[in-house]
Each structure stands twice: as structure tokens, then as C-alpha cells.
Amino acid sequence: MSIRQYRPRGNMRLGLSSARSRILWGSFALAIILQILYPLVHGGLLRGLTLAIVYASTLSICIHALYAYGVRYLITYVALTGAYAFLVELIGLRTGWPFGNYHYDSSLGLALGGVPLVVPFAWMMMAHPILIAARRIAHGWIFLYGGFGLMAWDLFLDPQMVEAKRWVWESTKPALPLEPMIPLSNTAGWLFAGMGLLALLHWALPKERKKVGAKNTVADLFLIWTLFSGVVGNLFFFNRPGTALLGGIVFGLTIAPYFFSLRFGRPDYI
């Protein structure tokens, strides 16, 4: 007798058309290529590349959101994440809460109220993959897992951007362990702000994937690439072993249960 996993036909989903698949994977490849180029360029070109990476990565994630979850999901996701991120950053600049006292450099381009318009797009490129992971494994604690995931990602992001002088802290005391340039308040701020965003997104966004649409492979690979590039880049290109160690451990432990569940848990129908 053999035991086989029962997969009802009603739950099976069909993949993308070849044209849509090329668009999705092409946008993902572009985002990764731009990130690979980051440690190889300098000066004004680096500034432009920084913006291009954020916009290209967000575009890829939004294309996945559209192809996997539909138009309603995409529009709601972009509107809520963009508005929430902008509001939190605006409050942060005005009050120092929740991240601490900081200001952005003009190299990040057009700004509104002191908040560069590229910044909410950075939130968009990570919140969608984190939400997918949280919905699979966190159940009633999606907001907590999601907030922790965004906080863990920022352990890679902030040191890189501070060193590039994209934003500056007025005080870094008390500092994050292994990261003397980053105040501990920033990490706590990302945790609490991230919990709020993920709670909002989980409440507002559809949970089911489209019957005919993309699998979550691109979003999953984006998480894996974030871990890999964060560790390798900081070890071998940016000379920041502390960032590689801290970010690698925290982000790696955050996403590990999700990938363990994909490998050994229930079939990935949703």
C-alpha cells in the first residue's frame, strides 16, 4: 500500500502564460542584476543605482502580487503600504518616534515633507514577501512575525544606507550590538511599525491566490536573495562582518520556519 498526499482538483492552480512568466521573471532578474552591480560602482552612478534598485525590486514584487493575487490585492497593497510608510516616516522625522532622530540626504531624490518618495517603495518591496511567509506559518501572530521580519531585513538595510550617507542619525546611543552606527531605537521602531503594517495588510488583503496565476516562487527567492546578498555583500564587499553576522542570524532565523514549512509542511495551495 502506498500513501499519497491527496490534492483535490478544486485546489489545484494553473500557472502563468508564457508571456506573463517572461515579464515576471524578467523583472525579477533585472532587480537582482542591479543589486549585484551595487558594490561595483561609485559616486553619482551609485546614487542613481540605489534608486533604480528600489524601484526595480518594488516593480518585480508588485508584478508578482498582481499575477498571484489579483488587481484588488495589488491596488490595496500599494495604497496601504505607501500611505502607511509615508506617514510613519513623516512622524519619525517630525518627532523622533518611533525610530529616533534622523534626517534624509538629498541624494535620495524628490521628497515630500522631508520624506524622499523612494522610501515608501522600499517598504513595498519587502512587506509582500514577508506577508506571504507570515500567513503560512504565524496564524494568529501574523502581525508579530511580520514586524520581526521587517525589523530583521532592516539590519541589512540601515548600515548600508548610513555608510553611503543616504540618511544620518543625530545620536546612535544606545547603539545596536555590532552596529555602532545604528541606534537601538531604530530597530525597536521597525519592529513596532512593522507589526502595525502587517496587521493592516493581513486585515485588508485577499488571502487566496488566483486560480490561474503565479506561484510564490519569486517572492520566496526574494527572501533567500536578501539573506544571501546581505551576508555575502557585507562580508566580502563592504567590510562589515558585524552586519553580516547579526543580520544573517536574525533574518535567517526569521525566514527559516517558513522554508521548513514549504519543504516539509502542507502543500503550497495558498
**pLDDT tens string 112-155:** 999 999 999 999 999 999 999 999 999 899 999 999 999 999 99
Instruction: Measure CA 79 to chain center.
Output: 16
Distance between CA 215 and CA 237 in Å, rounded?
33
CB burial of residue 105 (10 Å; 0-12, 13-18, 19+): middle
Share of the chain above pLDDT 90, in %: 87
Nearest to 126, CA basis, from 156, 163, 161, 92: 156
- DSSP classification of residue 165: T
Provide the pLDDT for residue 210: 86
Residue 61 · residue 124 · CB < 8 Å: yes
Give the gyration radius of the chain's Cα atoms: 19
Which residue intervals of the chain are DSSP H helices? 18-37, 43-69, 71-95, 118-137, 142-163, 184-204, 217-236, 241-264
pLDDT of residue 32: 98
Backbone φ/ψ region at 81: left (φ over 0), alpha (ψ -120 to 50), beta:
alpha
pLDDT for res 7: 45
What does the DSSP 8-state code read for residue 183? E
C-alpha cell at 174: 544606545
Q: Which residues of the chain have pLDDT under 50?
A: 1-11, 269-270
